Chain A
Amino acid sequence: MTPFTYHRAADVAGALRLAGQSAASRYLGGGTNLVDLMRETIERPDALVDVSGLSQAIEVDARGGLRIGAAARNSAVAAHPVVRERFPLIARALLAGASGQIRNMATTGGNLLQRTR
């Protein structure tokens, strides 16, 4: 694994600022995909900006849509009562993927930023 500098972002503005400080930074959620790719030196970031401390909120917005914080864990989203009652396809899709251990680590933000495979 290539050496990197680790930063933990306290908020969104901080995450953007930290990520802008280096040319090859990556955001780090649960690490279930990125850490593996870094170990294989497929990904070689010089800085990791840990965003797992950002919002984990799961809430319905004014238009009836679902708003999920980037740091919300897959397991938390799948277990959320509103997701299960009103957006069951999301819960089912999450529960059909990976394992219990990985669902406890993986985040919504990390899923969206996952490298194409």
Chain B
Amino acid sequence: MMANTPPEKNPMEFTINGSPVQATFDPRTSLLDLLRDHLGLTGSKKGCNQGACGACTVLVDGERINSCLALAVQYQGRRITTVEGLAEAGELHPLQRAFVVHDGFQCGYCTPGQLCSAIGMMGEARRGMPSVVTQDLAAPVAMTLDREELRERMSGNLCRCGAYNGIVDAIVETFDIGIPEGAASGSATRREPA
């Protein structure tokens, strides 16, 4: 009976980059396709469309998610921020400026996802979210993340141009992360991708 029935559409409402959005969509619509194809917010990118590359990363109530794996219908009533919503009053977000200064990109395709991911990542660190490299899980998470830990926490965002050192430098500068004593600089610890 259901197989030949046309898909029903669901009325949905969101707050996207501070503005209310109301419309009726097929429930198969991913949050990424909603943003790009229906709302014209093409900053969030479709790389792998299966949750591996992070180019589609957006913030939902301040938390980073992969919008390609998110059915939009699940995120009704939520506050969604895309790269288009990071600048305020015409001023780039400090992290956006730092990406320019530190060459945190080449082609730029992964950049919107990198920016949203880094902002979400710093929120996690401030809330005390541990990572797999956290030595003592029982201790409070310190805000002295070394570059290796930043790389681990940002590992859900791939950059095919290999601008990782610039990305890490931009994050370190923007969020004033204390680098532990004796830790080497980014260029000195440069590693080839596995």
Contact = CB atoms under 8 A, between A and B. Distances in A.
A99 B54 contact: yes
A3 B28 contact: yes
A96 interface: yes
Contact of A36 (B3, B51, B154): B51
Nearest to B124: A100
B191 interface: no
Contacts of B120: 100-101, 104
Interface string B43-75: 000000111001001000001111001110110
B85 interface: no
B54 A78 contact: no
B10 interface: yes
Contacts of B185: none
B54 A79 contact: no
Contact of A95 (B3, B74, B117, B130): B130
Given A22-B2, A35-B30, A101 B132 contact: no
Contact of B74 (A4, A28, A88): A28
Given A84-B138, A91-B137, A79 B129 contact: yes
Given A95-B130, A99-B156, A32 B66 contact: yes
B122 to A, nearest CB: 11
A24 B192 CA distance: 46
A22 B138 CA distance: 45
A31 B156 CA distance: 17
B117 A101 contact: yes
Contact of A1 (B28, B69, B130): B28
Contacts of A101: 51, 54, 57, 64-66, 117, 120, 156
Nearest to B141: A79
B49 to A, nearest CB: 8
A106 to B, nearest CB: 9
A96 B131 CA distance: 8
Contacts of B137: 84-85, 88, 91-92
Interface in A51-96: 52, 75, 78-79, 84-85, 88, 91-92, 95-96
A99 B155 contact: yes
Of A3, A52, A96, the most chain B CB neighbours within 10 A belong to A3
Interface of A: 1, 3-6, 22, 28, 30-32, 35-36, 39, 46-48, 50, 52, 75, 78-79, 84-85, 88, 91-92, 95-96, 98-102, 104-105
Interface of B: 2-3, 5-8, 10, 26-28, 30, 49-51, 54, 57, 63-66, 69-71, 73-74, 117, 120-121, 124, 127-132, 134, 137-138, 153-157
6 contacts: A3-B28, A6-B10, A31-B74, A48-B71, A99-B54, A101-B54
